[in-house]
Amino acid sequence: MENLRISDAIAVKLRDKHGVERREVENCFANREGRLLLDTRARHRTHPPTLWFIAKTNSGRLLKIVYIQEGRMVTVKSAFEPNEVELRLYARFGGVSY
């Protein structure tokens, strides 16, 4: 994805803390089902707003993708394996159960 931006610092965090590679993030964008959700928590509010979804990589790994979008440019803030609460939220509001 040429319009996907992951800063060097975020790329290191994704790799070292979460074991997530750029290609997995790209897979999730390509494989996304359901709705995008808005992160409304006060400490996560951004302009433009922070969005998230849960999707599978091509190898079947579930990831929560957190990002902001300005026009066509997508800036990844984080990507990690979702916990049970996040899975329930996405099933309820995103429309997809895993």
> Six-digit token pair at 55?
């999707």
Instruction: Tell me the C-alpha to C-alpha distance, in Å, between residue 50 and each of 58, 59, 61.
Output: 24, 26, 22
Which residues form the domain of 29?
Answer: 4-94
How many domains does the structure of the chain reveal?
Answer: 1
pTM for this model (two decimals) = 0.93
Element spanning 61, H or E: none
- At 14 the pLDDT is 98
- Judged by DSSP in three states, 33 sits in coil
Q: Is the dihedral of CA 81, 65, 20, 96 positive or negative?
A: positive
Give me the percent of the chain exceeding a pLDDT of 90: 87
How many whole angstroms separate alpha carbon 98 and alpha carbon 42? 27
pLDDT digits (tens, 9 = 90+) for 24-69: 999 999 999 999 999 877 776 777 899 999 999 999 999 999 999 9
